[in-house]
Chain A
């Protein structure tokens, strides 16, 4: 918490702080994700800049009270532009002993711990592996500990509401949100409105949550236990209308936008998989946009159906995570061979195999690049942050349609599930990415040649069923150049392989140069892609804050690379490539440009911290 001390409340001292990171932690069943999201939305509407980091176990309900069952949600709010959820939380809300134990080591020195003391009974202490109650043994003396019997207070607040016993305890997360709402002087209305809307059909639950929320707020307001409130003023962000958005949400909206920009109906097929399922949920809610969602029987059927829809003339889209991308690879090769536009989204997670399904990683880049049989290049686009997923999706669709090719869009669990403010774009600025269908013959004697390419893009014509006179057959067998007939000719196979390769390579001329954010005279450049955008930029800012020089490139296009990339990299004495993998982009740039880049690999299922990037850059700058 960075402080700007002023006192403006005679009863409670209100400190002005620039930033604060709060972590809500509890059992998987305690509703911590929801608590964090409510606090976040209230902060967003208040006008703070913010960044969130949900962290939850793969098990829906690991045994209650145990360390594996701990679920947390960290939100970083600030009165200025911030880029990460914060390296260390300033405040930890611990709903039980396991939550305290699992999160304490992350807490900032002298941080605040708000503890639900009712959960610190013998049984829960044992489950969490505490031999002695940490509330009694002095082990928390270095922190500011606020002990609150949240369960008892929630039950008391709900007396007379008709909600009792275990049901009443379900509302304790709203008690915690209420308390934090007071402590950080958030408006109450956004949360009350959300409760009223969400539980409109369940009046008892609505009343219980409202009562608990207000009780939490009032506890702070009326007791002597808390001397301090904190105020984080709205951030001076660029003018505009903002909303708070997660990456999966922005991506789903980007799919709808791409359909509109392409003037095509959207067909979205997928199989439920963490952490991509929310894209399906979001799109399924919006049938009125004409989006057809198809929950397929498996990953292979999902991409197959999307490809069938693409052949039919729709914008075919499928999304998955790593294991699903592996299953889809054969069909992606078919899309590549039939040269149909297809958007494949990979919300990457920790691998290999089932790996860490609810954690983040960037380890599918090489699979996207090379994970198919045969010579099978395709374009790769990546999103850098939750809000950036919108534009990245439209760009991926643009390339797919213009070049008649499958495109892989890489997001990841961190982008997908975390949130940040998004300045709403002017939808009139959406690019026109429509491509005309073939409607007439293009060959001699009024014949249709399905593989007669556009000389500029090398794309083949898209003739959809229903078009008279253009009946034709496509498929996975090698095609004869121009006619598209089956061909086993050795020369033709090589020619077609090179044509497919040239088509993808040529896209480099149709994407912007990589933007180099460089200090004059910098000798070290940091090259990143994907969700490490925020941590890298924050780390770079800190290095600059020390008066040192550094340069930075963050890539949107991973295949082909921007045309200026090789030159740009060659201008720096040292190139650092931080990635949440073992060095995948690092390998690609070394192979492509013979640049002696240095990798900074992290595979812990967690995003980079700004401090980590800063420290590595300091070491490189020397």
Chain B
């Protein structure tokens, strides 16, 4: 299905008017994804976008490929059927924090553990946008919204931690505003064999503006953004003066000068254990301080549909292609003359 690069971003735009609120982070993500699709080298006819319900779920209408706008929370299930039926397709899921973490939580975790070749883009804006501003399963405790006037009493999910706990083979985080980083993460997810979860911090400028200011603000980002790079020491800060150590399964932020550069954790996205990646994911719970972005985990595991295909192949090699006439007579027959 790989072809020579012959697309531009425009080839992936549709004639449908894009109807997100002006200033929404979704516009930036759409541009990043359209650009990446043009570079990906996959024929447009072989690309399918599937979504659920929510602001992000309009995405397929704006991507000139095959697409299905499904129902709330069920996109990973629909996409699983697509990808298992047609492993040659490039299947992408676009979801939000309510869609993927709340109503569709079950489908998300199971599609991740099965390692079906679907790439899940989780637009996390930590709020319900389409229903006009209730707290979401990633909203911080105490958040005051229409449905939580005295402050939310729910404890939020950390999507990266959740995905790692759900046996995901590829887990990453990026930020809507950083198109270069988003593109790099999309590329790594595409090249990964199996399911991929990409959490994208996405600003909802209407109902939850500046939720990610600690990572996007000019002043704050240098202090707080921890770039995870496979094979490199986890250091950050304007002068890379701070770093992360992992001791006893827990990650902790230190001053490099205090502890020495040799003691700083070296990020290994391919580590057999998900433990270090999980420890890194616990550094922040919602981006209110130093927060890692990048690929947390990227490991090899058999892909569901490839194994299924192999079982079909093996069964045919052993028993021959199915013979329906023989099958319906297989439980013993008798003849009436």
Max count, chain B CB within 10 A of own CB: residue among A45, A466, A470, A477: A466
Q: Looking at the complex, which of B59-67, B145-153, B259-267 is the stretch in contact with chain A?
A: B59-67
Chain A residues whose CB sits within 8 angstroms of the CB of B44 once the complex forms: 471
Contact of A305 among B64, B77, B312, B335 (CB under 8 A): B77
Among candidates A240, A288, A427, residue contacting B321 with C-beta atoms closer than 8 Å: A288
Q: How far is the CA of A298 from the CA of B109 in the complex (A)?
A: 12
Note all chain B residues with C-beta closer than 8 A to A242. Answer: 333-336
Say whether A312 contacts B106, CB under 8 Å.
Answer: no
**Does the CB pair B60–A475 fall under 8 Å?**
yes
Our pick among A240, A243, A330 for the contact of B331 (Cβ within 8 Å) is A243
A291→B43 CA distance, assembly (Å): 27
The answer on a CB contact under 8 Å between B85 and A300 is: no
Contact of B81 among A44, A269, A467, A470 (CB under 8 A): A269
Query: How many whole Å from A313's CB to the nearest CB in chain B?
Result: 7
Min distance, Cβ A240 to any Cβ of chain B, angstroms? 6
- Say yes or no: is A245 at the interface (Cβ < 8 Å to chain B): yes
Give the residue of A310, A465, A486 whose beta carbon is less than 8 angstroms from that of B61: A486
A297 and B111 CA atoms in complex are apart in Å by: 9
**A313 to B86, alpha carbons, bound, how many Å?**
9
- B77–A476 contact, CB under 8 A? no
Question: Inside 8 A of B43's CB, which chain A residues have their CB?
Answer: 468
A290 to B16, CA, bound (A): 39
CB distance from B328 to the nearest CB of A (A): 5
Interface pair A304/B335, CB less than 8 Å apart: no
A307–B24 Cα distance when bound, in Å, is: 31
A303-347 Cβ-contact flags toward B at 8 Å (1 or 0): 011111111111010000000000000110010001000000000
Contact-residue bracket for chain B: 35 or more
A309 and B336 within 8 A (CB): no
In the complex, identify which listed stretch (A4-12, A252-260, A273-281, A573-581) lies at the interface while the others stay far away.
Answer: A252-260
Contact A45 B82 (CB under 8 A): no
In this complex, which of B66, B71, B81, B86 has the most chain A Cβ atoms within 10 angstroms of its Cβ? B81
Tell which of B45-53, B176-184, B195-203 binds the partner. Answer: B45-53
A473 touches B322 (CB 8 A): no
Question: Do residues A338 and B311 form an inter-chain contact, with CB atoms below 8 A?
Answer: no
**A243–B68 Cα gap in the complex (Å)?**
44
**A294 close to chain B: CB less than 8 A:** yes
Q: Provide the bound-state CA to CA distance between A244 and B331, in Å.
A: 7
B82 touches A300 (CB 8 A): no
Q: A243-B332, A267-B85 are in contact. Are A334 and B316 (CB under 8 A)?
A: no
Q: Mark B289-315, 1 if CB is under 8 A from A, else 0.
A: 000000000000000000010011011
Q: What residue of chain B has the Cβ atom nearest to residue A253's Cβ?
A: B328
Q: Is the CB of B312 within 8 A of A287?
A: yes
- State how many angstroms separate the Cβ of A340 from the closest Cβ of chain B: 9
Count how many chain A residues have C-beta atoms less than 8 Å from C-beta atoms of the other chain: 75
Q: Note all chain B residues with C-beta closer than 8 A to A253.
A: 324, 327-328
Q: In the complex, which residue of chain B has the Cβ closest to the Cβ of A485?
A: B16
Q: Is A472 in contact with chain B by the CB < 8 A criterion?
A: yes
Query: Is the CB of B80 closer than 8 A to any CB of chain A?
Result: yes
A566 at the interface (CB under 8 A from B): no
B-side contacts of A301, CB under 8 Å: 74, 77, 80, 106-107, 110
Distance of A464 from chain B, by nearest CB (Å): 8
Whether a CB of chain A sits under 8 angstroms from the CB of B120 is no
Which residue on A lies nearest to B325, using beta carbons? A427
Stretch at the interface among A18-26, A177-185, A214-222, A231-239: A231-239
CA distance A297 to B60 in the complex (A): 25
Q: How far is the CA of A308 from the CA of B109 in the complex (A)?
A: 18
Whose C-beta in chain B lies nearest to the C-beta of A46? B334
Q: A104 within 8 Å of B by Cβ? A: no
- Report the minimal beta-carbon distance from A29 to chain B, rounded to whole angstroms: 25
Cα A275 to Cα B86 with chains together (Å): 30
- Known contacts: A253-B327, A288-B319, A474-B67. The answer to whether A312 contacts B16 by CB under 8 A is no
**Which B residue sits closest to A333, measured CB to CB?**
B71
- Residues in B with CB closer than 8 Å to A469 are 45
Question: Within A444-476, which residues are at the interface with B (CB < 8 Å)?
Answer: 465-476
* Any B CB within 8 A of the CB of A560: no
Q: Tell me whether A288 and B77 are in contact (CB under 8 A).
A: no
For A260-271 the 0/1 string (1 means CB < 8 A from B) is 100001010100
Residues of A contacting B84 with CB < 8 Å? 267, 292, 294, 305, 309
A424 contacts B329, CB within 8 Å?
yes
When the two chains form their complex, are residues A473 and B67 in contact, meaning their CB atoms are under 8 A apart?
yes
B89 at the interface (CB under 8 A from A): yes
CB within 8 Å of A: which of B237-288?
none
- Out of A47, A260, A292, A474, name the residue touching B336 (CB < 8 Å): A47
With a CB–CB cut-off of 8 A, which chain A residues contact B66? Answer: 311, 465, 471-473
Give the complex CA separation of A238 and B311 in angstroms. Answer: 40
Q: Is B318 an interface residue (CB 8 A)?
A: yes
User: Is A41's beta carbon under 8 Å from chain B?
Assistant: yes
Residue A296 at the B interface, CB < 8 A? yes
- Taking a contact as CB atoms under 8 Å apart, the answer to whether B324 and A240 are in contact is no
B61 touches A473 (CB 8 A): yes
A-B contact list, 14 entries, CB within 8 Å? A41-B331, A241-B336, A243-B331, A253-B328, A286-B327, A287-B316, A288-B322, A290-B316, A300-B107, A301-B80, A308-B68, A308-B81, A331-B71, A471-B65
- 3 nearest interchain CB pairs? A475-B69, A308-B81, A289-B322
Chain B residues at the A interface, C-beta cutoff of 8 Å: 14, 16, 43-48, 50-51, 60-61, 63-71, 74, 77-86, 88-89, 106-107, 110, 308, 311-312, 314-316, 318-322, 324-325, 327-329, 331-337
* Contacts from A to B (Cβ < 8 Å): 41, 44-47, 190, 234, 236-245, 249, 253, 256-257, 260, 265, 267, 269, 286-292, 294, 296-298, 300-302, 304-314, 316, 330-331, 334, 338, 390, 423-425, 427, 465-477, 485-486
Q: A41-B331, A305-B78, A311-B81 are in contact. List 4 more A-B contacts (CB 8 A).
A: A260-B324, A294-B80, A466-B45, A474-B69
